[in-house]
Amino acid sequence: MTAPVITAAPTLSLPDAAHLMRSRGIRRLPVMDGAALVGIVTDRDVREALPGRVSSLSPWEATTRLAAVSVADVMRRSVLTTTPDADARDAAHLMLSHRVGALPVVDDQRRVVGVVTVSDVLRDYAYEDGLKPGAASGAEAQA
């Protein structure tokens, strides 16, 4: 799980959300309205909302129009979540069955306390036997 969580307000402009994700090296932003989780926006959502390279809009027009688009306009409102005490295997099953790459982690008061990603689950699985990160395994040595 990654914590603390970087979140966005629904009113955040799409260019600002894209900049935030790029600068923090993240691909998902839980969208919070106050303390309530109201959605999630991914780097894919942002890319799909951006004008294409072959757009007939001038750079000025594209920038102006894009600045008027907010996170609320492109976010996914139906958000799957997990809890801090959930088993990593259950989180992995939920992500696989719903084809999502991350789950916000919410506590008993529905506050977002973290995000668990596919990378987190893989890391947990890879190091559950005590193998230290960076240590060569048999498969790596043979490859």
- Residues 76-126 have pLDDT tens digits of 999 999 999 998 889 999 999 999 999 999 998 888 999 999 988 888 888
The average pLDDT across 8-37 equals 93
Give the C-alpha separation, 52 to 128, whole Å: 43
Phi and psi torsions of 126, nearest 5°: -65, -30
Mean model confidence pLDDT for the chain? 83
Average the pLDDT over each of 12-21, 46-55, 70-79, 99-108 and give the range with the smallest value: 46-55
- What topology does CATH give the domain 14-129? CBS-domain (3.10.580)
Which pLDDT score, from 0 to 100, does residue 120 have? 87
Which pLDDT score, from 0 to 100, does residue 131 have? 60
> 63-75, pLDDT tens digit by residue?
666 677 899 999 9
pLDDT confidence bin for 53, thresholds 50/70/90: low
In the predicted model, is pLDDT for residue 44 greater than 80? yes
Would you kindly state where each structural domain of the chain is located, as residue ranges? Answer: 14-129
Give the C-alpha separation, 37 to 35, whole Å: 7
The owner of tokens 């790029």 is: 22
**Residues whose CB falls within 8 Å of the CB of residue 74, separated by 6 or more in sequence, listed in order:** 14, 41, 45, 46, 48, 49
Structure tokens at 103: 């789950």
Give CA 33 to chain center in angstroms.
Answer: 17
Which pLDDT score, from 0 to 100, does residue 143 have? 47
Which pLDDT score, from 0 to 100, does residue 130 have? 61
Phi and psi torsions of 14, nearest 5°: -60, -45
- The pTM for the full model equals 0.77
- What's 34's DSSP letter? T
